[in-house]
Structure 1
Amino acid sequence: MSLKARITEDMKTAMRAKDAARLGAIRLLLAAIKQREVDERIELDDAQIIAVIDKMLKQRRDSITQFEAAGRQELADIEKFESGVLQAYMPQAASAEEIDSLIIQAITNTGAAGIKDMGKVMALLKTQLAGRADMAQVSIHIKAKLAG
């Protein structure tokens, strides 16, 4: 079953269960997917849907930080709930050991010698770790490895 079909089925399940909060989060996701499909005039595949979900998760993390800084815990809680719903559609997170081995492999494959070659390594890893790791953290590990 495709990811989009799974999301649609989960929406129907949430409707039947009268779970308004979950239904709202799933509808936001489906709206974002549909918007991207209309904008680009394509049918999104699972990898592209994961990219949409990843973007939405980043937005939620930023919102949570902002709401907590402003003392609006009730809004932060809503964002945390939506993040949990969205996270259920992401692939299994990569372990730290797996990320380290992929970084070493990417450095070897690209022949990266220093920080100036970081873009090549990131480009290779972005496809392998899409939706499975926080690329900002991966970037920090790559810098550490390339720096020495």
Structure 2
Amino acid sequence: MSQTVNTGGNGGTLRERITTGLKDAMREKDQTRLSTLRLINAAIKDQDIAARAKGNADGVGEADLLGILGKMVKQRQESARAYEEGGRLELAEKEREEIAVIETYLPRQLDEDEVAAAIDEAIAETEATSLRDMGKVMGVLKGKYTGQIDFGAVGPMVKERLS
């Protein structure tokens, strides 16, 4: 199973694509995209600073960037749900618009069958036989599918297969 990254029509690294997107949003005066991309850049800079403090002069890598974006999507999904429950539909809609912008920089999400196949592949690769091997399996999945799988949902699936 190959990892496909949505390049949004642009080549280059994720950082380059975000910078290009930011410039395009400024030119097009797209306030939602502009503010969301600025939030993404701020989150990346925070992680870069933390990485440099730990001795990584280059800052965070591509996989870490995908993790940051995935976390941002999850936060906004939770906020949108909370806003809906509170009857604040306009705020929930704003969160969804930000999710749509962030997702343009994430790889395509795997469907259920692809997730099941990825789990089976990771179990075979690590030769996992029991719950004690769950960390190894999750490590392989995170290494190959960061940004493509909801690891909160995958954990119980891996646990079920190993028990």
Alignment TM-score, normalising by the size of structure 1: 0.89
The residue that corresponds to 1:7 in the other structure is: 18
CA offsets per residue over residues 101-146 of structure 1, 9 Å max, x none?
A: 2211222233322334322221221211110011122123223322
The residue that corresponds to 1:21 in the other structure is: 32
CA offsets per residue over residues 60-116 of structure 1, 9 Å max, x none?
A: 111111111111111111111000100000012223332222211222233322334
Give secondary structure in 2 for the equivalent of 1:144.
helix
Give secondary structure in 2 for the equivalent of 1:28.
helix
More moved, 7-16 vs 111-120 = 111-120
The residue that corresponds to 2:140 in the other structure is: 124
The code of the aligned residue for 1:138 comes to V
Q: Kindly state the Cα deviation for residue 27 of structure 1 after the two structures are TM-superposed.
A: 0.6
Instruction: Provide the identity percentage.
Output: 38
Structure 1: runs of 5+ lacking an equivalent: none
Listed as ranges, the matches of 1:72-111 within 5 Å are 72-111=88-127
The code of the aligned residue for 1:36 comes to Q
Query: In structure 2, do the counterparts of structure 1 residues 22 and 97 end up closer, same or farther at CA, with 3 Å as the change threshold?
Result: same
Match of 1:139 among 130, 133, 155: 155
| Greater fraction helix | 1
Partners in 2 of 1:45 and 1:118 — Cα distance?
A: 25
The code of the aligned residue for 1:92 comes to R
Give secondary structure in 2 for the equivalent of 1:127.
helix
Give secondary structure in 2 for the equivalent of 1:94.
coil
The answer to which structure, 1 or 2, has the higher relative contact order (CA under 8 A, 6+ apart) is: 2
The residue that corresponds to 2:73 in the other structure is: 57
Say what the alpha-carbon RMSD is for the aligned residues: 1.6
The code of the aligned residue for 1:66 comes to A
The total of aligned residue pairs comes to: 147
Partners in 2 of 1:116 and 1:37 — Cα distance?
A: 33
Match of 2:45 among 18, 28, 34: 34
